Structure 1
Amino acid sequence: MAERVLVTGGSHGLGRAMVERLRADGYRVVNLDLQPAAAAHADEVFVQADLTDEPGLRAALAAVIEREGPITRLVNNAGIVRPASFEETELADLQAVMALNVGGSIVCAQALLPGMKAARFGRIVHISSRAAIGKATRSAYAASKAALHGLAKTMALELGPYGVTVNAIGPGPIASPLFDRVNPPGAPATQQIVDAIPLRRMGQPAEVAHMVASLLDARAGFVTGQVLYVCGGMTVGLAA
């Protein structure tokens, strides 16, 4: 029977690329999202859930584990941005972003953890962002992604004795619908971002999916508590 992996927000964007890559690697993928993918595969398990609804999310996770059995790999990918300058950021924005980006990740990991501990094996990958180290008009988003870094490191310390690794991946500018929504193509500010990338190009969703697949691999058992950037070099030096 194929190993199972749960991907949140796997119906579109980066999450969809992860689903495609993990299917190609032979995993049975459980996609937890608000809506199914436009072109879902027959062997793909879709679970509809709102990651900000804790009781509903816990119930959905319990149901899929009962049906599918223990799931020992998790990719916490679902997230929202709510862009605004610091002065214009409202607490309601912060609370909404934290509830999904961080709260949903915690609930999903807690639900899958008993199966991982029983198997003495687990792989958890949080999808963070380069914005976690600072980006204008991303106060709430950056705060939530930085929180995932601390969460990954703390989880790694606590769960290491059970054979569970926990890491975070911080994508830089990736050509995706989410990026385009908050960085309009052709806008001067968007071009400035591309010009600041040492590789002088946008990243591709498949490149993020490759790093995810690498950390989920059983052979990646000595990498934990790390934040790995897939950013074309933007986190190096003074790239802004």
Structure 2
Amino acid sequence: MGKTNETYELDLEHLPAHIAFIMDGNRTWARQHHRPKYFGHHEGTKTVRRLALECNRLGIKAMTVYAFSTENFKREKNEVDYIFKLPEEFFNSYIDELVEQNVQMLTIGHLELAPERTQKVIKRCIERTKNNTGLKLVIAFIYGGRDDIICATKKLAQQYKDGEISLDEINEQNFENQLMTAGLPPVDLMIRSSGEVRLSNFLLWQLSYSELIFDETLWPDFDEAQLHKDLYIYQHRSRRFGGGK
């Protein structure tokens, strides 16, 4: 499923409340364009802006992007250092537009592990957009799905140890309330770009009943038309959540 030039008529009453994106293909895109791999990450930030504004226009409530995983520390130091600079580049370029368009910025993951300058930039953007009521743009930064589950388990275990909850009160809803995505709508649709077919430790609990689309389009090439195509595919699937027809 590559980049499309077709148009798709969407049912605006049947859109996902929450879309999650695994932004894959930045380095491949840079290589194909004979540019340094860091340039692919730079171009990828433009896609985040495009899709955030379009999701906001469509009335989608939340959009989560996998910006940096707990495993990404294994990459070359120069690349990691550059990725940590991207939030400042992104928000210096687009924060005024996000504020104007009523987009709220949030983050999940372990921001405290990022360089102090990166932390300050992201916290400043969260503060500046905290009263916005449109799309929630969630940056998964130094995030891992397994870690999210472990952290939630530790919180519940501590509550049980402190006598705040009983064993019978440890259920799915209380568990979800301890996840980093607590307060966000359930993820209805996950899209991974570049054709890779795996979850890469992203929102493992949250994607249990999500629709999954593995799109061959490289992330820097992903535009509004491609989003509409994947939304059209989503709208023509039957979601039964384990039930019958």
TM-score (norm 1): 0.36
Q: Which has the higher contact order (CA 8 A, sep 6+)?
A: 2
Q: Which has the larger radius of gyration?
A: 2
TM-score (norm 2): 0.36
